[in-house]
Amino acid sequence: MASVDLRKLTKRYGALAVVDDVSLTIAHGSLVCLLGPSGCGKTTTLRLIAGFVEPTEGDILVGDRVVSSPQRSLPPERRNMSMIFQSYALWPHMTVAENIVYGLKLRKTDAATTQRKLEAILATTRLAPLAGRYPGELSGGQQQRVALARALIVEPETLLLDEPLSNLDANLREEMRFEIRRLHDEYRYTTIYVTHDQSEAMTTADVICVMNAGKIEQAGSPEDIYDRPNSEFVARFIGMSNVVRGKTLTEGRVDFSGVPLRVTNASAGMGGDIAVSIRQHNIRLMAKEPADNDNVVPATVVRQVFLGSSRDYLVEVADGTQLRVVTPSGDAVAPGSKVWLHMPHDCCRALAG
């Protein structure tokens, strides 16, 4: 295993910087997700690491070895990396076992070692009963496990995954998220995983890097990214947070729709107009005005949808701002009703510009 170090990595196509001055250190044995919408630069970053694309500026190091720079780049086959693409790319005329050991045969690994490694990976990936089948006889999830086994058996320094679950249906995607994490915990290869699906990232990653317009907007643990977003983009992209706007009254206090709202993460440098995020499920919706009106904002119900275990409300406050509120299923509050929203101050997070 080895760490991966990106230093001011940039890839331009003409005047467009698809990857823009990205610096990131990935500790050996960790699983890092590059997460973001289409066009944010995450796949290009992965292809730069793999060696399929050469950088315009910056360096890529694996351990203490420079594998890519504007002056010199090692070809993909010399980087000791395995990559899994959106398509499984399995040989249809080879059995599961033959597909898995294909990389070892290219490396001219002796028969005894190949057999030992095959038996071990078949057991770990739970593919032993399927070893004699062909890819066309497997489900999508089984084919994905074969692709993972083929990548892992060659013992790469770095494992790269490019949207590996995008071709699976919803139930299989959920199952395979946990399978990928289980296999990572088993082998502890340094892994870089590209996805646009936040559930995949939250399930699998040690560190999530949220990318936007070629840059890393924020990097941190799943808990950090979800609970402590630093920007409006991250707050909206992860968990679809409400983002409201107000004016700074004092440090830690914001005027929102005529209510002095206490917030966290506000600094002395924040002044004038300010954005504040709050998750839908952190807002308490009340049908009666409470005696304590601290961080309580009056609103009107615009719509209400029953979702079984919860209700999804759209409410509107005095200045016209609309917020999503998710509550337990309980009793419904009809559209047009006046309600009061308790927005706990430790859940209201001031965002950097």
Q: pLDDT per residue over 53-81, tens digit each?
A: 999 999 999 998 999 998 889 999 899 99
Tens digits of residue pLDDT in 217-273: 999 999 999 989 989 999 999 987 899 999 888 888 999 999 999 999 876 455 588
In a domain, 234, yes or no: no
149 in a structural domain? yes
Same domain as 76, residue 126: yes
**Looking at residue 254, which CATH number applies to its domain?**
2.40.50.140
Range of the domain at 251: 240-351
Which candidate, 1, 20, 2, places its Cα nearest to that of 10? 20
d(CA 274, CA 237): 19
* SS3 label, residue 299: strand
pLDDT of residue 171: 80
Please give the Cα distance from 46 to 4 (Å, whole number): 12
pLDDT at site 1: 62
Residues 265 and 344 in one domain: yes
Query: What percent of the chain shows pLDDT beyond 90?
Result: 73
Backbone φ, ψ for residue 309 (5° rounding): -85, -10
Tell whether 207 and 257 lie within a shared domain.
no
Backbone torsions φ then ψ of 344, nearest 5 degrees? -50, 135
The CATH number of the domain holding residue 136 is: 3.40.50.300
Question: What pTM was estimated for this model as a whole?
Answer: 0.86
